[in-house]
Each structure stands twice: as C-alpha cells, then as structure tokens.
Amino acid sequence: MLQYIFLQSPAPQGGLLTMLFPFLILVVFYFFLIRPQMKRQKDQQKFVESLKEGMEVVTNSGIIGRITKIDGNIVRLMVDEKTFIRVVKQSITGEYKP
C-alpha cells in the first residue's frame, strides 16, 4: 500500500525557475570564468606585441633578462654578461620591475 501512494503522488511543478536555472548557470560561468580569461589573453597578446629591445622581462619559467634582439617570433635575452638565450615571444609573461 505504501508503494502505491508514492507511485500516485503528483510530479512537482518547477515552473519558470526550473527552466531558467541552466541559463543562469551559463551566465554565471561566462561572467566569472570565461570573460576574465579572455581579457587576460588579450592583455598578454598586447604586451607581447609591444615588446621592444632594451626591455627587462620575465619568462614563464622565471628567467629574467634584457631583450637584445627580436627576430619575428624569437626573442634573444641577455641573462648575464655575454650570456644570451633565445625564447619564443609567447613565453614572456611580463616586464621585470625590481
């Protein structure tokens, strides 16, 4: 008899809130996760395009050096006197400010 009562209970009516819930979750994800990430990518791209010789920069791996030459997508960094390394432009994360 108890099973019969549960089988015949009416389904809950969610209404408009149930239909809007997935949409609201997508909006929250967009404004808190996707949009800030896109803004950081645009800022990083602008920084990479503005690189010029003489700037002191930091790479993703934490190497600090001064830009001595930019050849297309490759940047030559002077990390010590007479010590140079070549890195890809996209690996430079920011300008070094001691």
Q: Within a domain: residue 22? A: yes
| Share above pLDDT 90 across residues of the chain, in percent, rounded to a whole number | 76
Answer whether residue 9 is part of any domain.
Answer: no
Assess if residue 51 is contained within a domain: yes
Q: Is residue 5 included in any domain, yes or no?
A: no
Domain that holds residue 60: 16-95
Q: What is the mean pLDDT of residues 26-30?
A: 92
Is residue 16 over pLDDT 90? no
66 within some domain: yes
Total number of domains in the chain: 1
Mean pLDDT in residue range 67-93 = 96
> The whole model's pTM is what?
0.70
48, pLDDT greater than 60: yes
Please indicate, yes or no, if residue 11 is contained in any of the structural domains: no
CATH code: domain of residue 35: 2.30.30.140
- The set of long-range contacts for 42-48, using a CB threshold of 8 Å and a minimum separation of 24, is 44/93, 47/92, 47/94, 47/95, 48/89, 48/90, 48/92
d(CA 74, CA 88) in angstroms, rounded, equals 5
For residue 62, being part of any structural domain is answered with yes
- Dihedral over Cα of 65, 67, 72, 50: its sign: positive
- Whether 7 has a pLDDT exceeding 60, the answer reads no
Q: Which two tokens stand for residue 79?
A: 């990390």
Q: Angle at Cα 65 formed by Cα 60 and Cα 68, nearest 5°? A: 120
